[in-house]
């Protein structure tokens, strides 16, 4: 990460836009984004890129007889000359809109960020200075070892400056890094995957991941065909994360209150307070979670079911969504909190599941497959909602389903299509291991900051066999 200087600093742009505002209220969000990425296939780099982006979002609020309206206009590549037209466009949009149902007074009284007037942080391809040559060496090693490597490394750094007409001046720098490594046999009949989430690429080593994948391809030397059915299954942290991230996204307080989600109580109200898990599982978010840090205040570029542009700058604290097995909170803005009677709990951009377990994945494998075949999954893919009433999800296993017999991995089996609900899985989980940082493979484009334990389920529903590898 380096600091740069530029003619107009983002904080100056924010101040100038606020000065130009003639609306009753104004929120200005300046996002400065830089990224660098490398992509590879068949032991060779394919595409790459280094990008810079700048977006300014102006939210104007205008009071009227029937309520307060909001207008939201975002533009990239804004220059000094574009500022006034942008502010006027937001004001015009507010005047043309009807009253916003989520209107609330803009947030006040949050202490300024000490680095608000500092230049944005930037990333560049320099972030791969050590990683890129190591990756090249991994390609050479993989080729010699009869493996083909595919994958992607991405680093993005977003500096967000948020100012409001009520005096807020907040800033957050968000680094997001992901590494995905996929190894295949040359005929592509065997495939293994490993992923990491990182803030700066200093803590990821392609050689270590490649060694892990070489072991998994070796496990797949023996292959066994298994039919569809319910199996004792060990879900690794990435698979647990993908299922629970979807559940988290489905935890809208408003929708639950309206009777239209798995968290609705039949006859009215929500399931908050209900026991969901037999194990003492706690699902939580915390902007200050070490290694998974995220914005400690609301940054809303648009109002959605669970976000309101009027809440911009509202502090985001730690929240237990499920505490020791009991549903504790659903996602709310100030508006939907009032609407539903639920406390205001905006979401943080991370998710942690704690089960109090201490066993590693390997130690949990040792406890698997003692009453018939057990399955160790690698990750899940193409997860989609089948039934919102039960939150039934379908999807595929991918890049390695391993047969575990009497605590030992004895081979690889075919992939499956599953049909399962993460809410039901919480209830049926028989054991959770030690929580570790993980990359949710399916949702990694949108959600990278997760820590999950491996979870053992006695009867995971493999609905049909997939020939796909």
Partner 1 sequence: MSKSVHSLDDGFLALPLSALADAALARARALGAEHADFRLERVRSAALRLKDAKLAGSTDTTDLGYAVRVVHGGAWGFAAGVDLTMDAAARVAARAVAMAKLSARVIAAAGADERVELAPEPVHAEKTWISAYEVNPFDVPDADKTGLLTEWSERLLAAPGISHVDASLLAVQENKFYADTAGTSTTQQRVRMHPELTAVTVTDSGDFDSMRTLAPPAGRGWEYATGTGWDWDEELARIPGWLAEKLAAPSVEAGSYDLVVDPSNLWLTIHESVGHATELDRALGYEAAYAGTSFATFDQLGTLRYGSGLMNVTGDRTAEHGLASIGYDDEGVQAQSWDLVREGVLVGYQTDRRIAKLTGFDRSNGCAYADSPAHVPVQRMANVSLQPAPEGPTTEELIGEVERGIYVVGDRSWSIDMQRYNFQFTAQRFFRIENGRLAGQLKDVAYQATTTDFWGSMSAIGGPETYVLGGTFSCGKAQPGQSASVSHGCPSALFRNVNILNTTQEAGR
Q: Which residue(s) pair with 230 in the sheet?
A: 461
Q: Does residue 272 contact residue 329 with C-beta atoms inside 8 Å?
A: yes
Residues 79-98 that bind partner 1 (CB under 8 A): 79, 89, 93, 96-98
One residue of 80, 130, 288, 302 binding partner 1 per CB under 8 A: 302
Q: Does residue 346 contact residue 298 with C-beta atoms inside 8 Å?
A: yes
466 interacts with partner 1 by CB under 8 A? yes
Residues 107-166 that bind partner 1 (CB under 8 A): 125, 128, 132-133, 135-137, 139-140, 143, 148, 150-152, 154
Rounded to 5°, the CA angle 465-393-449 comes to: 110
Of 166 and 390, which CB lies nearer to partner 1 in the complex structure? 390
Of 218 and 389, which CB lies nearer to partner 1 in the complex structure? 389
Residues 358-387 that bind partner 1 (CB under 8 A): 381-387
Contacts of 267 (CB under 8 A, 6+ apart): none
Question: From CA 127, how far away is CA 35, in angstroms rounded?
Answer: 10
- Contact track, partner 1, 176-215, x by CB under 8 A: ----xxx-x---x----x----------------------
> Shortest approach of partner 1 to residue 328 CB, angstroms?
22
Question: From CA 447, how far away is CA 439, in angstroms rounded?
Answer: 8
> Shortest approach of partner 1 to residue 150 CB, angstroms?
4
Of 58 and 432, which CB lies nearer to partner 1 in the complex structure? 58
348 interacts with partner 1 by CB under 8 A? no
β 351-354/450-452 pair status: parallel
Instruction: Pull the structure tokens for residue 246.
Output: 């979807």
44 interacts with partner 1 by CB under 8 A? yes
Alpha helix ranges (H) inside 145-236: 206-219
Q: Which residue(s) pair with 442 in the sheet?
A: none
Largest CA-CA distance found in the chain, in angstroms, rounded: 74
H helix or E strand, kind and range, residue 405: strand 392-405
Residues 2-41 that bind partner 1 (CB under 8 A): 35, 37-41
337 interacts with partner 1 by CB under 8 A? no
Residues 394-453 that bind partner 1 (CB under 8 A): 394-396, 398, 415, 417, 419, 421, 424, 445
390 interacts with partner 1 by CB under 8 A? yes
Q: Which residue(s) pair with 457 in the sheet?
A: 233
Residues 216-275 that bind partner 1 (CB under 8 A): 258-260, 264-267
Residue indicated by tokens 């040359």: 186
Residue indicated by tokens 């307080």: 253
Of 215 and 304, which CB lies nearer to partner 1 in the complex structure? 304
């Amino acid at each position: 990460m380096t600091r740069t200087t530029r003619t107009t600093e983002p904080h100056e742009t924010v101040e100038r836009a606020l000065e130009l505002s003639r609306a009753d209220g104004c929120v200005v969000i300046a996002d400065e984004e830089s990224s660098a990425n490398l992509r590879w296939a068949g032991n060779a780099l394919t595409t790459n890129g280094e990008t810079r982006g700048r977006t300014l979002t102006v939210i104007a609020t205008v009071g009227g007889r029937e309520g307060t309206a909001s207008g939201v206009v975002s533009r990239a590549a804004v220059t000094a000359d574009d500022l006034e037209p942008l502010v006027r466009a937001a004001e015009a949009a507010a005047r043309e809109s009807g009253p916003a149902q989520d209107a609330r007074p803009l947030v006040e009284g949050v202490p300024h960020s000490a680095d608000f007037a500092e230049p944005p942080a930037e990333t560049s391809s320099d972030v791969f200075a050590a990683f890129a040559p190591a990756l090249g060496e991994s390609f050479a090693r993989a080729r010699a070892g009869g493996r083909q490597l595919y994958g992607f490394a991405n680093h993005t750094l977003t500096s967000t400056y948020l100012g409001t007409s009520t005096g807020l001046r907040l800033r957050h720098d968000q680094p997001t890094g992901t590494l995905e490594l996929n190894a295949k046999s040359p005929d592509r009949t065997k495939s293994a995957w490993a992923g990491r989430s990182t803030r700066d690429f200093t803590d990821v080593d392609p050689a270590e991941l490649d060694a892990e994948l070489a072991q998994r391809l070796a496990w797949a030397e023996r292959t066994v065909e298994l039919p569809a059915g319910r199996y004792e299954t060990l879900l690794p942290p990435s698979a647990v994360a993908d299922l629970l991230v979807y559940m988290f996204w489905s935890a809208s307080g408003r929708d639950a209150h309206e009777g239209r989600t798995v968290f609705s109580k039949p006859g009215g109200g929500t399931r908050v307070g209900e026991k969901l898990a037999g194990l003492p599982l706690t699902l939580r978010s915390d902007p200050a979670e070490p290694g998974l840090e995220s914005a400690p205040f609301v940054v809303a570029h648009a109002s959605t079911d669970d976000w309101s542009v009027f809440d911009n700058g509202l502090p985001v604290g730690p929240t237990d969504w499920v505490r020791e097995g009991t549903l504790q909170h659903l996602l709310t803005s100030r508006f939907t909190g009032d609407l539903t009677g639920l406390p205001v709990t905006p979401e943080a951009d991370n998710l942690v599941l704690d089960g109090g377990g201490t066993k590693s994945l390997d130690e949990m494998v040792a406890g698997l497959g003692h009453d018939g075949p057990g399955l160790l999954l690698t990750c899940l893919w193409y997860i989609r909602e089948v039934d919102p009433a039960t939150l039934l999800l379908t999807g595929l296993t991918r890049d390695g389903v391993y047969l575990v017999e009497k605590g030992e991995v004895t081979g690889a089996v075919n992939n499956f299509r599953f049909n399962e609900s993460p809410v039901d899985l919480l209830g049926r989980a028989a054991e959770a291991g030690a929580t570790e940082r993980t990359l949710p493979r399916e949702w990694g484009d949108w959600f990278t900051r997760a820590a999950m334990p491996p979870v053992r389920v006695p009867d995971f529903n493999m609905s049909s066999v997939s020939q796909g590898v």
